[in-house]
Amino acid sequence: PSSIVWLRDDLRVADNPALLAAAERGAPVVVLYLLDEASPGLRPLGAASRWWLHHSLIALDASLAELGASLTLRRGAASEVLPALVREVGADAVFWNRRYSAARDVDAELKVSLREEGVAVCSFAASVLYEPWTLTTGAGDPYKVFTPFWKAALASEEPRAPVAAPHALEGHAAESELLEDWELLPTRPDWAEGLRATWTPGEQGAHERLEHFVEDGLALYHRRDEPGIEATSRLSPHLRFGEISPHQIRDRVQEGISPEAARNLATFLSEVGWREFSVNILFHWPDLATVNFRREFDEFPWGRPDPGQLEAWQEGRTGIPIVDAGMRELWATGWMHNRVRMIVASFLTKNLLVDWRVGEEWFWDTLVDADPANNAASWQWVAGSGADAAPYFRVFNPLLQAEKFDPDQEYIRRWVPELDTEEYPDPIVDLKASRDEALAAYEAVKAAK
């Protein structure tokens, strides 16, 4: 007998219940990563995520080698590739950690078909502290509002402690495709220089990031809204690819932190809670990236995006400094500060009147942390169509936001050095007039309610 561990959004060896269970079973193990761009309903990764994945897989393969195994790479529709691999290596058990996006339909079908062939399928909870079906309102419905959701989470059973990495794995040889053949990295042009300079994908990089945050960032976390300082963890891409688990993060911050850091602990954990909330929403509304959560927004008269304005937004040439700084940070590093994400998203949807799905797609392609739950939920949240969203009529003024959160223009000047020169463009839109237009357009939603 042999086992297959199918890794997906859990590219780590520590606190990986599926990997540990397979190791403890004792049989030889094939560790599979499957690039699935063929299953219906699965969204292909964006370009920045592909870059991240490439490096994360190299790091994972090195960690597995230390344990005595290696990574088997295959490409294709999971419903074909996995059963074929099972037959090829004579596996009688398959292990994986559960997913909560639409991809879970793929998993559910495989579970049935593999079991019909006499193959054991064992799935585990690994990527969230609270699986979506474990937290429901008194009436048994999913939570749609964050505060009661998180309150219920904190009052429920404590999440498990992280589990250790396997001591050793008996690797089972299976032929692997070559990572280079997947062409996940950009070539012409190579736009990844800023990404390479900013990030260390992989499990070790994730834990270094966490240690750095615990030592320097957490004590500053009450200033997390200021993009000019490094007060947040920047763990989001590591979490997205499962190089670190929320269990490990939660466990690490519970002890050995300074009193200044301890003051910010509950706030930090509640932000991790927003990730749990997004997963909960996505689980119950699987088409969250394309369909308005609040269906009355189907009536919203989004303008047709003006190609010139949309490009100016994407390239950071809108003439609104905080918006341009954010969009350039995104393009250069694959990441953007949360406060600035809210500002640029508000500007796109409310000042340019562009459908939130257009922005969601741009982020999907350019963010290294592009996440099916967080990206869709956050865009809808800003647009007003989402769960627990800010009321639509609360339109951010990006100039006032910048004054408040970047008072010394530290952030703006880092990304927009030509600010005071002739070169810097005038605003592409009148903030006041466009705000009034947005509010008028919102009447259609109110009427549909």
State the catalytic residues. Answer: 271, 274, 302, 338, 356, 379
Nearer to ligand FAD, 309 or 333 (CB): 333
Q: What is the rounded distance in angstroms from the CA atom of residue 205 to the CA atom of residue 373?
A: 23
Length of the chain: 449
Q: What is the rounded distance in angstroms from the CA atom of residue 168 to the CA atom of residue 159?
A: 26
Nearer to ligand FAD, 4 or 368 (CB): 368
Shortest Cβ 350–ligand FAD spacing (Å):
12
Nearer to ligand FAD, 382 or 429 (CB): 382
Q: What is the rounded distance in angstroms from the CA atom of residue 388 to the CA atom of residue 285?
A: 14
Nearer to ligand FAD, 61 or 329 (CB): 329
Peptide bond into 407 cis (omega under 30): no
Shortest Cβ 232–ligand FAD spacing (Å):
3
Those residues whose C-beta lies under 8 Å from the C-beta of residue 26, and which sit 6 or more positions away, are 170
How far is Cα of residue 274 from the mean position of the Cα atoms in its chain? 12
Which SS3 state, helix, strand or coil, does residue 367 take? coil
CA angle 181, 187, 189 (to 5 degrees): 165
What DSSP element (H or E) covers 209?
A: helix 203-212
Nearer to ligand FAD, 299 or 361 (CB): 361
Shortest Cβ 224–ligand FAD spacing (Å):
6
Q: What is the rounded distance in angstroms from the CA atom of residue 302 to the CA atom of residue 348?
A: 11
Q: What is the bridge-based pairing of β-strands 120-124 and 91-97?
A: parallel
Q: What is the rounded distance in angstroms from the CA atom of residue 117 to the CA atom of residue 83?
A: 9
Q: What is the binding site for ligand FAD (CB under 6 A)?
A: 224, 232-236, 239-240, 271-272, 274-275, 278, 338, 341-342, 345, 363, 367, 369-371, 374-375, 378-379, 382
Nearer to ligand FAD, 82 or 354 (CB): 354
Shortest Cβ 85–ligand FAD spacing (Å):
30
Shortest Cβ 260–ligand FAD spacing (Å):
16
Assess contact for 27 and 76: CB atoms under 8 A: no
Q: What DSSP letter does each residue of 389-416 carry, written as one string?
A: PPPTT----HHHHHHHH-TT-HHHHHH-
Using CA atoms, how far residue 386 sits from 144, 199, 290, 297, 354, in Å, is 9, 31, 11, 9, 16
Best CA proximity match to 364, nearest among 101, 38, 104, 97? 101
Shortest Cβ 441–ligand FAD spacing (Å):
20
Position of tokens 């399928």?
121
- Tell me the helices (H) and strands (E) count for the chain, helix number first: 19, 5
Nearer to ligand FAD, 61 or 226 (CB): 226
What DSSP element (H or E) covers 32?
A: strand 29-35
Position of tokens 């994972």?
60
Shortest Cβ 331–ligand FAD spacing (Å):
15
Shortest Cβ 269–ligand FAD spacing (Å):
9
Best CA proximity match to 109, nearest among 80, 132, 134, 75? 80
Nearer to ligand FAD, 16 or 346 (CB): 346
3-state secondary structure 299-353: HCCCECCCHHHHHHHHHCCCCCHHHHHHHHHHHHHCCCCHHHHHHHHHHHHHHCC
Structure tokens at 401: 């936001």
Shortest Cβ 297–ligand FAD spacing (Å):
16
Nearer to ligand FAD, 288 or 412 (CB): 288
Q: What is the rounded distance in angstroms from the CA atom of residue 174 to the CA atom of residue 29?
A: 10
